[in-house]
Structures are given as structure tokens and as C-alpha cells.
Amino acid sequence: MITLNIPIPGHEYDILIENGLLDKTGEKCRDLLHHDAKVFIITDVNVAPLYAKRVADSLTSEGIINHTIILPSGEKTKSLYYLESVYMHLTDMKVTRNDCIIALGGGVIGDLAGFAAATILRGIDFIQIPTTLLAQVDSSVGGKVAVDLPSGKNLVGAFYQPKLVLTDSSVLETLNDREFAGGMAEVIKYGCIYDKPFFDRLAVMNNRSDVMSDIEEVIKTCCSIKADVVTKDEKEQGLRRILNFGHTLGHAYELAYNYEKYIHGEAIAAGMNIAARIGNILGITDSETVCRIKNITETFGLPASIECSLEDYERAVSLDKKAEGSSVTMVLVPEIGKTVFKAIEQKELIGIIEKAEEIK
């Protein structure tokens, strides 16, 4: 078993990574729970048939009372409507401050369940059990929880750290190829922004099988990078912003297609590519880096570009949480493994995007 400690002052927790860890859920959670705690497993209709019973049985075997709440799947579940639904389920089942939520699923469930935990009764414990590659390497780590509004993604949220993250690498076997590729976008991002040797390792992998042959080390590397960044900047005041590489414009693609046509990783892959082209236009990103990012995303079946109107870009940029007044701080990559922040006036950025769109 791989154990990574996240030493955030006052909110320290461990990430455990192991094949088959799901069946040890009760054992690993028991000592973290209050003696009279009930556990609420929040999951979705796709994950529940595969893993909910295993988690529930493991908890029951340790004498832990548990209930399962099953939600629809997809980004539209991460909404105020379903958040209220979760609140109602919890209150109907007499939730108390001694209880705990387990988020069993991908990023949508992790974000929604985590935000419910952060806000119900002013905060109860929660544990992450991520079941997608994207959630295992990114969204389950760092304590950002949120729901979407019709006007944009993650606009209602909090920083709220889990008590534990249980990462079972075997669950990735049930992911379809598209979801696995989507997770690879975030994996690639870590190499782009922080770790050139890691990027170089990924660049010689040709397919899913190559990644899975070293999957626990891949997950460990990504989580270690994020842990290092988050420990230094929990509330995203500075360094943590590097994790948003590709996201400002990636969110534009998700919003433009109403979160239906492209999954998160596909949008982020295209967002990283256009950010690299923007950096090149500004004289910040070298041409080799632009090509390497394009090549690696396409190797893993991810889009290097997505059609988007300037109006949709304007809408996403104006809602970006990194916006300050009339400017947006873009995360740019001068070369693989290095980042810079560049504040750009929103109107100027739209003009640069228009030029970048012409580069394929």
C-alpha cells in the first residue's frame, strides 16, 4: 500500500493507494469515525451497481451503520437541485454532527458530496473513494468542493478537506476508454506544469495499457504533486493557481456545449492546447512545447481543439474565478515543467484567443 500524507495545518489526512482497497473501507475508516457515527455513502447510478455493496458490506463488517444515497450520473447532478435532494435524504435519516459522508464516485459525486458535508449542520466529516482516473489524480485531493450554477461551473463551493482518501486502482478496469482518456488530461497537466521527467515518462507511453502497467506510480506522482502545491497554498491565493492550467478555456467548452458533448478531461485537453498557443503568441511558450502538448493529448485520444464561439469564450472568461476586475490571470507554460502567471485584460484575451484559434 502507498500512503501519502497531506500535512495541511489543522486538516491533515492520508491518501491510501492500493489494488483491492475497496474491501478494506471499514477497517481503514473505523478509527477516524466517532464511536456512534452513521455513514452515508453518496454515489451515482453507474457506480452503485459496481461498488456500493462492497463498500457497505465492508463498513457493516466493522459494525458501522451505513446508508446509501444514489443519484443520477453526469455533470448536471452537480447542481443546487440535487444538493437539496441530498440534504433532504440526510435530514430524513437523522444526520448528526458525529456522522460521516463517503463520496463514492467520480469528480461530480466527490464535489457534490463534499460540499454537502461541508455545509450540512455547518460541517460533518467526509471521506473520498474516487472511482475514476480523473478523481483519483485530481478532484479527490485538495479539498475543493462545489456545485455548478446555470451560469457557470463550480460557482458555489468551499475549501473543505476530507478525513481520508481511499484510492483503489483496480476500479479503473471498469472505466470506458473515453473516461480513462479524460482522466489522462489531468495526468498530463501535472507533467506540463510541475514535472518534466514525469511528462517525459508519459510521452513514451502509447496507450491505456502502458499507463495501467504503472498505474499506482502514476497516481502517486500526480497526488504527490498536488499535495505539495495544496499544502503550500490551500486557499488558492498563489501557487495553487498553476493547477488551473487549461481550465479557464476548458470551462468555456463545457459551458458552450451545456456540459453534454464534451467530458471535463476533453475540455481541459483542448484548453491546455489553446493556452499553449496563447503563450506562443505572447512570446512566452516555445514552439516545441506547443507541439509536445498537442502530440501527447492526441496520443491518448484527447482533442487538441474544440470549436467555440467568441461569445462563449467571453461568457466563460467573465465568470472565471481567477478574474480580477477586468483582467484574467492565465496560467501559461514557457516550457514543460514550468509555469508563469500572466494577467490579461479580458478584451485583449478574446482577441488573442481569436488568433490562437487560427493555429491548428
CB crowding 98-107: b at 16 or more within 10 Å, else e = ebbbbbbbbb
DSSP per position, 18-84? -TTGGGGHHHHHHTTS-TT-EEEEEEETTTIIIIIHHHHHHHHHTT-EEEEEEE--SGGGSSHHHHH
153: nearest Cα among 268, 242, 46, 71: 268
Q: How many CB atoms lie within 10 A of CB 63?
A: 8
The residues annotated as belonging to the active site are 122, 144, 186, 226, 236, 240, 244, 247, 251, 264
Copy the grid coordinates of residue 148.
455548478
Coil, strand or helix at 168: coil
Taking each helix axis from N to C end, the angle separating 177-194 and 215-232, rounded to the nearest 10 degrees, works out to 50
Cα separation, 140 vs 124, in Å, equals 17
Coil, strand or helix at 132: coil
24: nearest Cα among 63, 55, 3: 55
